[in-house]
Structures are given as structure tokens and as C-alpha cells.
Amino acid sequence: MSGAGGRAAVVAGLGGWVPPTAVTNDALARELDTSDEWIRTRTGIARRHVVDPGTATGDLAVEAGRRALRSAGTDAADVVVLATSTPDRPCPATAPEVASRLGLTGVCAFDIAAVCTGFVYALGVSAGLVASGFARSVLVIGADTFSTILDPADRTTRAIFGDGAGAVLLRAGDPDEPGALRGLQLGSDGSRSDLIQVAAGGSRQRSTGLPAEEAATYFTMDGRPVFAEAVRHMAASVEATAAALGGTPADVDRIVLHQANARILAAVAERVGVPLERFPSNIERVGNTVAASVPLVLADAVADGVLRPGQRVVLGGFGGGLTWGSVGLVWPETTPG
Ligand code: UT7
């Protein structure tokens, strides 16, 4: 992942943000046929945060982006990449507006849609922009507001998903210095695209003019097969990145995965033969925040002292598409902004 001139993308700053309104399991149970006990034991989640009406993904992305810039001690970036599957509107992309609101007028800015793998995909693409010499710095943001696309009557998805945003500032640096991204692995399997989807609203099934029940604009997920695929692909991806770094998952100090379900983290830990204690988790506090998940758990792990400078880290994700991926680095000195 280093370019011709030996340039690599290096993590220089980190920030996370969740909206203030929290929804506890008990609050959900007052509305739906569910319970705190079911949600905790099946997912590990105690609460999630949701946006109030009028707040959009771009608003969260601006907050997280501002924090990552502050953490890096800069107010500049050459590129803004926003990973999201809940853009402010279907067209245009949300990233240019986020860039402008951050004072980054005129920069290259675009969205990436890889659902829960979005942030890892965005890191990979951004690292390539740095390594090629195109950009000296990239603000990589993952932000989603799945509360805006969930079926209010679907107790399963309502229990899991929460809103949030996280961001990392990448700068050009040396491939051997702490923070340099290495061992990128990305993959997809489009034959299983129906497992995680919003069926309508795109060009295949237009929502215009259809009655609401036919429009199928709500998010749907087939939980059981997704669970199995998540375990299989995240374990294989972590193993591939560890191998690219010259070792095995056992050589990695912290495996920071997309927070889909606490039982998925436990199953991946077992499959790769690494103690669960090395998998930082904030799912109890924020649930599954989709593209925001990896940078949010990074920010929380640093703030909690669970992730420390010098530790060997693999970041990994899995999500709709299906998509998956991971990347490695030695954790640098950072203070979340
Ligand atoms: O972010 C990346 C992609 N997403 C994931 O990786 C998520 C992967 N999947 C999962 O995490 C789990 O499959 C779920 C948490 C979604 C569901 O857990 P599960 O243990 O696989 O449950 P299930 O779907 O097999 O359902 C078991 C039962 C069902 O009832 P019956 O048919 O046995 O009577 C569900 O209707 O649990 C029921 N159920 C609930 N009960 C109470 C489903 N959701 C709830 C709920 N409260 N919130």
C-alpha cells in the first residue's frame, strides 16, 4: 500500500460523534414485543443513539470530521471520502456538502456505499489516493443514520441499529512509521445482495408513485445467514491481513471489528484463535452504527485506554453487498478530537 515514492497513508487524527438522544432496550420494549433480556443476550446491546427529526447523516459527518481534524491539529485535507448508506438524499453525494461545511471548499469529495464495510473500503481507497501521490491528506468519514430507514414495527432491526459518525485523518508518511496502513484486503459477493438491502428507491424498483407498502423503502436484513457470513468473512479477512503483515491473528494485539453483534465478535475470536479480550467493543453503548462503527469503536477504545500506541492492530468490517475487508497498522500516538 505504499506508492512509487514510498509514500503510505498514516493515521494522524481520530474523532467520533453520536447524537444525544439515547434509546434504551426498555424504551424499545415499551413500544415493541421485545425485552432488555432478549436484546442483551442475543446482541450485547443495551442502548443506541438516534437522530432527532431534522438531523441528517451529513450533520453527524461534519461533527466527526471536525473532531478528526482537531485531533490531527489541522484544518486542511485534500480529499473528503464519506462512507454511508444513508446519504442526505439519493443525489447528489453528501461528501461535497460535508466538505464545504468543514471549510474544505473546492476539494475532491465523494461517497462510498459499502454498508457496514464502508469505512474499511473508504480507508483502502483513500490510502491508494495518498500512495499514488494524488493527495497529501484525506479526511475519511463513516456516518449513518439507519434509524431513518428502519421499519418502525421491525423489532429485530430496531434493536440492533443506531446512528453515529466517526472519522480518521490520513496523511502521507513513511510505510514503516506508526499509523501507516498495511495489508489491505477487500472483497465482495454480489450474489447475496438480497440479504441486507433497501429494495426500492433505486433504478430497479422505483419508489415514485407507488403506495408505501409496495415501495419497500425500509431496510431489511435476513439475520441468520448474515450472522454466519459475517463470522466466516471477517475471520478470513483478519487472517489474510495478518498474513500480509507477516504473521497470524495471534500476533495481533487488538482486532477492531465492525460492531454488528457481540456474539459475532465472540465467534470470530474463537475461529481465529485469539482471546476475546483483544477485541475492543462499544456495542453495548451504541449498537450497530453501520459505516460509523469501526471509527467509533477506535475512538472509544483509545479514550478507554484499551487501544494504546505501539500496539499491532487489524481493523475489519463486514456488511451488505455482501462486502468485507480489513487493514493493519501499528497504533500511533493519537488523542481523539
Ligand atoms: O452489520 C452487518 C450485518 N448485520 C449483522 O451482522 C447482523 C447478523 N445477525 C444477527 O446479529 C442476528 O441474526 C440477529 C440479532 C439479527 C437475530 O438474532 P438470532 O439469534 O439470529 O435470532 P433469529 O433471527 O433466529 O430469531 C430467533 C427468535 C425469533 O422468534 P421465533 O421465530 O423463534 O419465535 C425472532 O422472531 O427471536 C425473535 N426475535 C426477537 N425476540 C425478541 C427477533 N428479534 C427479536 C427481538 N426481541 N428484538
Per residue in 79-88, pLDDT (tens digit) is 999 999 999 9
| Tens digit of each residue's pLDDT (9 = 90 or more) over 278-329 | 999 999 999 999 999 999 999 999 999 999 999 999 999 999 999 999 999 9
Give the tens place of pLDDT for each residue, 235-273: 999 999 999 999 999 999 999 999 999 999 999 999 999
CA atoms within 13 A on the CB side of 190: 0
Residue 74 exposed, middle or buried by CB count within 10 Å (0-12, 13-18, 19+): middle
What's the maximum distance between 2 C-alpha atoms anywhere in the chain?
59
Domains in the chain, CATH or no CATH each? 4-173 (3.40.47.10), 182-330 (3.40.47.10)
pLDDT (tens digit per residue) in 128-184:
999 999 999 999 999 999 999 999 999 999 999 999 999 999 999 999 999 999 999
| Pocket flag, ligand 1, residue 292 (CB < 6 Å) | no
CA neighbor of 300 nearest in space, from 246, 250, 258, 336: 336
Cα-Cα-Cα-Cα dihedral sign, residues 285, 180, 76, 98: negative
Q: Which one is predicted more confidently, 120 or 203?
A: 120
The residue nearest atom 39 of ligand 1, judged by CA position, is 156
Is 144 in contact with 291 (CB distance < 8 Å)? Answer: yes
Nearest atom (ligand 1) to Cα of 35: 47
Our mutation pick for probing the ligand 1 site, out of 35, 156, 192, 288, counting the most ligand atoms within 8 A of Cβ, is 156
**Read out DSSP for 294-313?**
HHHHHHHHHHTTSS-TT-EE
Q: Are strands 254-257 and 312-319 parallel, antiparallel or unpaired?
A: parallel
Backbone angles phi, psi at 145, to 5 degrees: -130, 70
Looking at the chain, the whole-number percentage of residues with pLDDT higher than 70 is 96
Percentage with pLDDT > 90 across the chain: 92
CA distance 96 to 67: 18
Give catalytic residue positions: 116, 258, 288
Own/partner long-range contacts of 207-213 (Cβ < 8 Å, ≥24 apart): none
Q: pTM for this one?
A: 0.96
* Residue 26's pLDDT band (cuts 50, 70, 90): very high
The CA 117 to ligand 1 mean position distance, Å, reads 21
- Give the pLDDT confidence score for residue 214 in this predicted structure: 61
pLDDT at residue 149, as a whole number: 95
Residue 200 pLDDT: 87
- Distance, CA 280 to ligand 1 centroid (Å)? 23
Q: What is the pLDDT of residue 88?
A: 98
Give the mean pLDDT of the chain.
95
Read off the C-alpha cell for 65.
470530521
DSSP state of 178: T
Q: Which pLDDT score is estimated for 5? A: 66
47 touches ligand 1 (CB under 6 Å): no
Looking at residue 335, its pLDDT comes to 87
Cell numbers given for 169:
485523518
For a mutational test of ligand 1's pocket, the pick from 163, 261, 318, i.e. the residue with the most ligand atoms closer than 8 A to its C-beta, is 261
Print burial letters for 308-333: b (CB count within 10 Å at least 16), e (below 16). eeebbbbbbbbbbbbbbbbbbbbbbe
Give me the pLDDT at residue 16, please. 97
**Residue 79: phi, psi to the nearest 5?**
-140, 145
Label residue 203 by pLDDT band (50, 70, 90): confident
Taking CA atoms, 40 is separated from 27, 46, 53, 206, in Å, by: 14, 6, 27, 37
